[in-house]
Amino acid sequence: MSPAGDHRHLVLSAGRGPQECAWAVAELLRRLEADAGRHGLTVARGRTVPGDRPGTYRSALVRVAGDGADAFVASWTGTLCWQAHSPYRAGTGRRNWYVVAGPSPSEAAPTRFAEADVEVVACRTGGPGGQRRNKVATAARATHRPSGLVVVVDTERQFSLNRRLALDLIRRRLADGDEAAGRAVAAARRRIHDELVRGDPVRVERPAGIPGGSPGGSAARRRPARRRP
């Protein structure tokens, strides 16, 4: 059981499926929200990519929060099936529209930079510059205490200039780290779109009012999500 106040992110994606799969994402999203409410959980929609039809989504990111969020997200992870006739193509006999759902890494908050968190000390460095450069501690060694990042700058002959450059370097490297982390999260979310496997769904959902459907919005059929190797 997840601790109270826990939260998880989940991505629902139509993958490369037809417009009905984008419709299925919207229908399953509403079903997921209703299911979460019955479990005492809250769902907040994040970034959504609209489909070609109004009210449909190619993908949707949701944040599930509350006691048991981890188990709830696991129960919705895998291939999902929305079983209903197409609202767009009356002639098609297909009734199974598949969607993939997978946990998504959370976006980390930007690293806070404050000069008070940086310890800067003077030090000596070797290399070109003659005896004065080696004997006088003009280089700046800066340590960002929260992250442990350390830089040494000795490009200038004055410690005050090297100190300023070291602080700027710390700030840039923290920003670069945040940007790299953001790219990794985006890449992980993109991979989910390509993981759709049609058939053998972990959940089958149907509209209320048809055989096998449920006015309460519960799943028509469920099976445990398969663990990935």
Give the pLDDT confidence of 39-63 residue by residue, as tens digits.
999 999 998 999 999 999 999 999 9
Tens-place pLDDT, residues 208-218: 866 555 544 44
pLDDT value, residue 96: 94
Q: If pLDDT is split at 50, 70 and 90, which confidence band does 220 have?
A: very low
Whether the CB-CB separation of 219 and 203 falls below 8 Å is answered with yes
Separation between Cα atoms, residue 168 and residue 157, nearest integer Å: 17
Separation between Cα atoms, residue 19 and residue 127, nearest integer Å: 65
pLDDT at 82 over 60: yes
- Residue of higher predicted confidence among 175 and 219: 175
Q: What are phi and psi of 47, to 5 degrees?
A: -70, 135
Q: How far is CA 223 from CA 4, 71, 204, in A?
A: 26, 14, 9
pLDDT value, residue 227: 44
Whether the CB-CB separation of 97 and 21 falls below 8 Å is answered with yes
pLDDT at 207 over 90: yes
- Residue of higher predicted confidence among 78 and 222: 78
Nearest to 80 by CA among 32, 35, 46: 32
Model confidence pTM above 0.85? no
pLDDT value, residue 208: 84
pLDDT value, residue 52: 94
Q: If pLDDT is split at 50, 70 and 90, which confidence band does 126 have?
A: low
Average pLDDT, the chain: 83
Q: How far is CA 98 from CA 18, 43, 78, 135, in A?
A: 10, 22, 10, 71
Q: Is 169 helix (H, G, I), strand (E, B) or coil?
A: helix
Tens-place pLDDT, residues 15-45: 888 999 999 999 999 999 999 999 999 999 9
Separation between Cα atoms, residue 76 and residue 203, nearest integer Å: 7
- Give me the domains of the chain, ranges plus CATH numbers: 7-104+199-222 (3.30.70.1660), 115-183 (3.30.160.20)
Q: What is the mean pLDDT of residues 72-78?
A: 94
The tokens describing 2, both together, are: 């997840």
Q: What is the mean pLDDT of residues 80-99?
A: 91
